[in-house]
Amino acid sequence: MDDSKRGFLKVAGGTVLGTLGAAWSRASLGLGKADEAATVASNQVRNWGMVIDVKRCREKEGCDACIRACHINHNVPSIGSTKEEVKWIWKEPYEHAFPTQTHPYLEEPLHDQKLPVLCNHCENPPCVRVCPTQATWKREEDGIVMMDPHRCIGCRYCLVACPFGARSFNWSDPRLHLTETNPDYPTRTRGVVEKCTFCDERLADGKLPLCVEACRAEGPGALYFGDLEDPESEVRRVLKERYSIRRKPDLGTGPQVYYLV
Ligand code: SF4
């Protein structure tokens, strides 16, 4: 068992067998048996956060396992149009992801690199403040910024408020753009917003988020996940050991996704 898994299991505390994740998609993504058994007592966690090791991600050039795992299992449609694109996790060039933290002499590998980006589950989320129906909210118990498409009226205020482009709107029926449907995860409808929820459904079953699990399926992973409030957690350990940055820190939203550079 590697350190990262041990750290997550330490938070875990018990064994809960989850049911989410269709066999076809798990097999196609190479997700391991050990990961299926990973457990976590979510009620012990105070603030979920993610850490992305930019150098390790670079070593896996061309890899999109995190994106495929997330999008296939969450029934995220593939729409061949930038304007109507729906995405929960995607890649951005460094200078787009960190526009205020770049300069002409930045080391070239970093300058040219595309990095995974997703909802930052901000400490102070502007998207939540503008939602008129509380279709999106920040969970007090663990910091996840949730999204309930059933309460969404499609006003798209949250899309405008999010400075990270982390929310997508379904301009058309997303179900028409799925090549396969995961029956264990709900599909959405036309006219609602969607985004990453840190795999809240998997955390409830004691599992790591799909992107983290898929990244670790083949060798050392570039993604870490855990309780930022726990000084003994793996995320806190790597943040202590390496220099890290967050996206657009000057805006004051307090992203809970960190990048090791
Ligand atoms: Fe909201 Fe955007 Fe922050 Fe996610 S990244 S919590 S959508 S403001």
C-alpha 197/C-alpha 240 separation (Å) is 26
pLDDT of residue 23: 33
pLDDT for 85 beyond 70: yes
- Phi/psi class of residue 251: alpha, beta or left (left: φ > 0; alpha: ψ in -120 to 50)? alpha
What global pTM score does this model have? 0.86
Residue nearest to atom 2 of ligand 1 (CA): 162
C-alpha 90/C-alpha 236 separation (Å) is 24
Residues 6+ apart with CB under 8 A from 107: none
pLDDT for 255 beyond 80: yes
47 with 210: CB under 8 angstroms?
A: no
pLDDT for 99 beyond 70: yes
Q: What is the DSSP secondary structure assignment for residue 80, as one 8-state letter?
A: S
pLDDT of residue 251: 97
- Phi/psi class of residue 222: alpha, beta or left (left: φ > 0; alpha: ψ in -120 to 50)? alpha
pLDDT digits (tens, 9 = 90+) for 17-36: 233 333 333 334 444 433 43
When the pLDDT of each residue in the chain is averaged and rounded to a whole number, the result is 86
| Residues at CB less than 6 angstroms from ligand 1 | 119-122, 125-127, 145, 162, 164, 166-167, 195, 253
Closest alpha carbon to 92 in 57, 50, 56, 49: 57
pLDDT > 70: percent of the chain: 84
pLDDT digits (tens, 9 = 90+) for 208-247: 999 999 999 977 899 999 999 999 999 999 999 999 999 9
- Mean pLDDT over 187-216 rounds to 97
- Measured in angstroms, how far is the CA atom of residue 16 from the centroid of ligand 1? 30
56 with 220: CB under 8 angstroms?
A: yes
Residue nearest to atom 3 of ligand 1 (CA): 122
Residues 6+ apart with CB under 8 A from 236: 226, 228, 230
pLDDT digits (tens, 9 = 90+) for 147-191: 999 999 999 999 999 999 999 999 999 999 999 999 999 999 999
- Measured in angstroms, how far is the CA atom of residue 253 from the centroid of ligand 1? 8
pLDDT of residue 5: 45
Confidence of residue 40 (pLDDT cuts 50, 70, 90): low
Residue to mutate (ligand 1; options 120, 156, 194; most atoms within 8 A of CB): 120
Lowest mean pLDDT among 17-26, 35-44, 47-56, 94-103: 17-26
pLDDT for 82 beyond 50: yes
